[in-house]
């Protein structure tokens, strides 16, 4: 539950960003939290993470940020 609260807080901060650079900084914090804290809980929070990703992708489109900038590891494959 604490991880979900943290991820939701970081998502809210990112979605509230007014510029692309600030937005990407917030997304990087979220990605780092997922890497460092979400590993063992990845299966338990998978659907919530997908919801977060969708809301961030909508905000990215609004700011003109490419999805590959949000999730570079997914586009590197």
Q: What is the pTM of this model?
A: 0.84
With 90 as the cut, is the pLDDT of residue 44 above it?
no
What is the rounded average pLDDT for all residues in the chain?
Answer: 88
The string of DSSP codes covering 12-60 is HHHHT-SSHHHHHHHHHHHHHHHHHHSTTTHHHHHHHHHHHHHHHHHHH
Q: How confident is the model at residue 76 (pLDDT cuts 50, 70, 90)?
A: low
With 80 as the cut, is the pLDDT of residue 74 above it?
no
């Amino acid at each position: 539950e604490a991880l979900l609260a943290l991820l939701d807080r970081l998502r809210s901060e990112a979605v509230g960003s007014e510029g692309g650079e600030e937005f990407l900084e917030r997304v990087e914090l979220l990605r780092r939290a997922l890497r460092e804290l979400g590993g063992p809980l990845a299966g338990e929070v998978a659907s919530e993470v997908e919801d977060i990703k969708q809301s961030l992708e909508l905000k990215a489109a609004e700011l003109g940020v490419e999805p590959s900038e949000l999730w570079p590891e997914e586009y590197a494959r």
